[in-house]
Chains A and B, each alone.
Chain A
Amino acid sequence: MKKTNDAKYLPTLPLEEKEELQKTFKAAVGKTVSENIEKMKLVPNRPAAMEYFDRVSDFFGQREKELREFKAKGGKVIGYACMLTPVELILAAGAIPVRIDSGFYSPSKIGDRIVPVEVCPVVRSMIGLAMANLYPYLEMCDAIISPNTCDGKTKVCEILSDVYPVWEMNVPRIKDTPQAKEYWLQQVRDVKEKIEKLTGRAITRKGMRASIETTLKATEASRRLLELRKGPPVISGRDAMLVSQMSFFDDIPRWTEKTNRLCDELEKKCAENSYVAPQDTPRILLTGSPMIWPDCWKIPNLIEESKPQGLIVADEFCSGDRVFFDPVGVDEGTTGDMLRAIAERYVLPCTCPCFTSEDGNRDRIDKLLTMVKDYRIGGVIYHVIRGCHLYAMEYMRLKRVFDKENIPIYYLDTEYSREDSGQMKTRIEAFLEMLATKTQTDDLY
């Protein structure tokens, strides 16, 4: 705990209450995680290599111990609140990056004391985690890097600055002007200096090279998995989503190795024709607000368990397939060029609706349309967490394009709580029913 006096937002909770909250939180998380894993294990022909990710998915396990040991030896852990953080720089300084986006339901109720319930649950949940000191990965952070992307992330990091040193990065919302390019590069340089100061280690050319290599390998593994998902259904969408989410706090080289091992197994399964679902299952593309492990698993569980069943073959989430998708493309191996490559990788190809350009966020539409073609998508589910205005507001433009292309798209707005699961179930079933009949009639003609 770094700062206690002069709190701007967060009240200090009494110790007993904190302990009580910590206990209930741990129990609640344990329950949700094991419930979700049990559900995922019901999928037929589930790859054995998923066992590793199941283990990591329990937050209070091996990885927490590793991080505590790392910190005891003087290592630094740097949290980041958004996908736009240049992880390579953290790695190059020998620190461990941990993504602190929260998918927990119970802390969001604590967050309600500070911000209104209309605010996005990711934000409320993060506030709750910080206030009652619940989440070990957040607790261990020596600093938090916060790119100011959406309103929620911008403000939550201001609130978190009551407890942690927060380094904000000002993201240019119009991303492809020359000024924006220079400006963002300067932000990246500043953050680099701050990381160097915290860790006491200079980020050298060699260090950056090695860290870029690490993320390139991770990108390669992640793309390999994506490539496999374009084919017959060998992995359930929930499993694949879990894999990409575990990179939030897992050791990246180990994560890469395990993902590659998973892909090896999937290739074998492909050859043996052992699938997780019938081949004609409607293929679903998820897009919109991120679905974060474990409490946001409500919707994917419903999609893949409903009757008729749907199979999530791809997602366009900043918590999912986009985490390791765009590579850092270094043209020349100089420090300046690598920094520029890192800076551009995080802003230019990003399809987050917080960006706009001459033609709005058209890159996102193009990306989704190509994904629909490449993954042979039957229907798109547009997931919006209540309070995520940017995604909600972009829906109409997307819908018009998709309607013109005759691609079914369905808007789902939901919350972290499970109160609406009954309603969600009905809506998802109706959509999948429509898709299933559509595939049948398509087959007829």
Chain B
Amino acid sequence: MIKITRLKLFAQIFFFLVFVYLGYLGVRIIEWNKIMLVVPTLSCYYTDHRVASCFLRSLQEGLSGGWSTGYKNLLAPVIFLVIFGLIFGRAWCSWACPLGFIQDLSTRIRKWLKIGYCNLSENMKLASVFTRWFLVLALFTLAIGIGIPGFFLKEYQYDLITPFCQICPSKQIIPFVQGRFREMLTVDTISTLSTVMSFLAIGIFIFYLLTTSFIRRMWCRLCPMGAILGLFNRFSLLSLRKEGKRCTRCGVCRRSCPVQVTEVYEEKEKEKISPSDCTLCFRCVEMCPEKDALKVGLSKFPLARSQYKRFIKSTAVRVTKEKEKSR
């Protein structure tokens, strides 16, 4: 029985290598009939030799350039998003996203140093939900606004081009992991607005760095991509399933959830648990000590079930085997 966390780590490393370094091997953007492969992770525009495009980037480009073409360019990215979203839900966040991987790495280092973490209070959790939907709203308004001829935002179209990408922490991180340190933390002084955007970007990057070590998966709670993908959780094939009758409500799932989802603990009736915060990392499944209480489901078909053996393997307290001795 392989630990879900370990499997996830392999997946994250794999996707990190694919999204960040595969281009160096000569693989170019995967295209088919001029349709770019769009993935719903922060696979960044600022990557040299990228192999796939970030959905947010394509969305913003499609929105701002769409006035004259009738937003035709949006079709491909949205179809990709819907397909990937319906299959995997928000699992992209915890299994593939490079930014998520970096957050997990910093958590691993923090755990290794035996430093505790902070939890967001209920109010702060609510605030984070508002923030991410505010970001989505701002993204749409700005991206559409700069595309409308005659609208006052059109004036700033070169300063505000792909507005979210300008402030995304990925803009600093991808050049860093690719060794292009000069492109990090740059300040664009062409106009006041672009200077403001640059400083905002640096501010958000510093916020990302500071919070990511002490608040588990802080960025995921603010990410507009996560907000959009979260809408698919309710319909996704890959999902978290619960048999409420078998739950003893010991609260381990609630405590070990990196984004502080409480529905897994609270729900007793519904079989499918799909809060939009959940990144489907399935930490709760491996930490649940009750047999079959929680399941990783592909639709109704269980891929993995919670059981005591899995729990023992996944807790932080290692249990050394002494079975040989007793026999």
Contact = CB atoms under 8 A, between A and B. Distances in A.
B178 interface: no
Interface residues of B, number: 35
Contact of A341 (B255, B308, B311, B319): B255
A190 interface: no
Contacts of A264: 326-327
Given A223-B308, A260-B323, A334-B114, A329 B315 contact: yes
A329 B256 contact: yes
Interface in B230-246: 244-246
B82 to A, nearest CB: 34
A207 to B, nearest CB: 12
Interface string A316-348: 000000000011111111111110110011001
Interface in A255-270: 257, 260-261, 264
A309 B269 CA distance: 38
Most A CB contacts (10 A, CB to CB) among B311, B319, B320, B323 go to B319
A331 B256 contact: yes
Contacts of B249: 176, 348-349, 363
A223 B248 CA distance: 15
A20 to B, nearest CB: 45
A62 interface: no
Given A326-B289, A349-B250, A217 B319 contact: yes
A216 B246 CA distance: 20
B317 A337 contact: no
B315 A330 contact: yes
B8 interface: no
A344 B255 contact: yes
Interface stretch (A21-29, A155-163, A242-250, A364-372): A364-372
B280 interface: no
A9 B317 CA distance: 44
Interface stretch (B115-123, B181-189, B219-227): B115-123
B34 interface: no
B248 A367 contact: yes
B319 A366 contact: no
A420 interface: no
A38 to B, nearest CB: 29
Contacts of B251: 176, 344, 348-349
Interface string B285-327: 0010100000000000000000010011001111110110111
Given A348-B251, A370-B246, A213 B256 contact: no
A122 interface: no
A377 to B, nearest CB: 15
A314 B242 CA distance: 24
B78 to A, nearest CB: 37
Nearest to B112: A333
Given A260-B326, A366-B247, A369-B245, A213 B116 contact: no
B311 A327 contact: yes
Contacts of B317: 209, 212-213, 216, 328, 330, 333, 338
B49 interface: no
A228 to B, nearest CB: 14
Interface string A431-444: 00000000000000
Nearest to A264: B327
Contacts of B115: 334
Interface string B262-285: 000000100000000000000100
Contacts of B311: 327, 329
Contact of A326 (B114, B250, B256): B250
A220 interface: yes
B253 to A, nearest CB: 9
Contacts of A327: 289, 308, 311-312, 315
A334 B117 CA distance: 9
B109 interface: no
Given A216-B312, A329-B311, 6 more contacts: A257-B326, A327-B315, A336-B116, A338-B316, A366-B244, A366-B247
13 contacts: A213-B319, A326-B248, A328-B317, A329-B256, A329-B289, A331-B287, A332-B117, A332-B316, A333-B317, A337-B116, A338-B317, A366-B244, A366-B247
- 3 A-B pairs closest in CB distance: A329-B252, A349-B250, A331-B256
Interface of A: 176, 178, 205, 209, 212-213, 216-217, 220, 223, 257, 260-261, 264, 326-338, 340-341, 344-345, 348-349, 351, 362-363, 366-367, 369-370
